[in-house]
């Protein structure tokens, strides 16, 4: 039975994340200390103590999530049984680390820069995102195609999370004024998300260019596992191609529904979410029938998974 590890993205963070891992494992304490030195501020304190308003700032959220997920990988040993990895948006960087494409240090530097650039882009180019629930992917894309570009405004499908759940992204006021149109076309719910910018849209081009420069100067090894990327929803192992897709990811849709289906078609039937919360487990359940799904977030989860392996 083939299995995949999935890594959570932004929105799953919580104050106190990683606390029990730090308490139980020396290697995690050391890892977090290394992370503090790399990012140049007290990331550990933000993860453990918040406040929530600080942790939810993109520039801090992304490094916090990456360190939490990398710590879980270090102490759980789950990578040994996996045949493939994928990560939702930010989680793709943890997937690249898990697959041996990036070192911990290089991945964290890129993640910290990515979070900082995305945070700053949100300040200079006002944008937002909204969840559209209960409308077919094609229908959401058709509305976006109809509205995108009017009077210089941006409106695109940004995250294909599961069948009937798509997130749109674009110019802040334009997204808000367009939300009723999706309801008119049959969406059950259209809800603005609490985000600081128009992620995975052309409005992030201001952040994509300096990120691409950093990616180009970072060594990307060929992957030891299949990495299913957000941009293409297909398996990739070539380091140079994974670098190219990481650069494109910031302004391209996260094709998560397509990724889960591609994994299932490739014979993957067991999925393990590594990171805070259970968001990805829910998305798998809504996308693939009959899959085995589990997750690890805390030291207790790690102990349970290790015990199951015997």
Q: What is the pLDDT of residues 42-95, one digit of tens each?
A: 999 999 999 999 999 999 999 999 999 999 999 999 999 899 999 999 999 999
pLDDT of residue 125: 93
Q: What is the pLDDT of residues 195-223, one digit of tens each?
A: 989 999 999 999 999 999 999 999 999 99
**Whether pLDDT at 310 is above 80:** no
CATH of domain 2-122+203-309: 3.40.366.10
pTM value > 0.85? yes
Euclidean distance between CA atoms 154 and 148, whole angstroms: 5
The rounded mean pLDDT for the chain is 97
Q: Is 12 a catalytic residue?
A: no
CATH of domain 126-196: 3.30.70.250
Q: What is the pLDDT of residues 219-269, one digit of tens each?
A: 999 999 999 999 999 999 999 999 999 999 999 999 999 999 999 999 999
The structural domains of the chain, with segments of one domain joined by +, span 2-122+203-309, 126-196
Q: Is 89 a catalytic residue?
A: yes
- Catalytic option among 8, 12, 76, 89: 89
Written as six digits, the tokens of 72 are 């879980």
Dihedral Cα 15, 18, 21, 22, nearest 10 deg: -90
- Catalytic option among 76, 88, 169, 200: 200
**Whether pLDDT at 29 is above 70:** yes
Q: What is the pLDDT of residues 170-204, one digit of tens each?
A: 999 999 999 999 999 999 999 999 898 999 999 99
DSSP for 226-259? EEE-TTT-SEE--HHHHHHHHHHHTTS-EEHHHH
């Amino acid at each position: 039975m083939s299995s995949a590890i999935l890594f959570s993205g932004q929105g799953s963070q919580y104050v106190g994340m990683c606390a029990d891992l730090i308490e139980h494992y020396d290697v995690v304490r050391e890892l977090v200390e290394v992370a503090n030195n790399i990012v140049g501020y007290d990331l550990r304190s933000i993860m453990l103590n918040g406040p929530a308003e600080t942790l939810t700032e993109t520039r801090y959220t992304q490094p916090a999530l990456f360190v939490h997920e990398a710590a879980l990988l270090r102490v759980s040993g789950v990578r040994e049984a996996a045949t493939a990895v994928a990560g939702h948006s930010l989680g793709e960087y943890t997937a690249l680390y898990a697959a041996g494409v990036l070192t911990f240090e290089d991945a964290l530097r890129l993640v910290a820069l990515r979070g900082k650039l995305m945070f700053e882009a949100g300040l200079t180019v006002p944008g937002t995102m909204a969840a559209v629930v209960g409308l077919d992917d094609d229908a959401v894309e058709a509305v976006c195609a109809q509205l995108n570009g009017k009077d210089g405004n941006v409106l695109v499908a940004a995250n294909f999370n599961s069948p009937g759940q798509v997130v749109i992204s674009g110019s802040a006021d334009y997204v808000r004024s367009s939300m009723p149109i999706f309801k008119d076309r049959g969406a059950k719910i259209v809800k603005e998300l609490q985000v600081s910018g128009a992620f995975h849209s052309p409005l992030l081009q201001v952040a994509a260019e300096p990120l691409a420069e950093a990616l180009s100067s970072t060594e990307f090894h060929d992957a030891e596992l299949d990495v299913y990327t957000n941009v293409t929803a297909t398996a990739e192992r070539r380091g140079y191609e994974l670098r190219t897709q990481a650069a494109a990811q910031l302004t391209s849709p996260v094709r998560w529904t397509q990724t889960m289906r591609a994994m299932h078609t490739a014979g993957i039937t067991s999925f393990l979410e590594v990171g805070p919360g259970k968001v990805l487990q829910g998305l798998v359940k809504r996308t693939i029938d009959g899959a085995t799904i589990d997750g690890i977030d805390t030291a207790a989860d790690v102990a349970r998974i290790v015990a199951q392996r015997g």
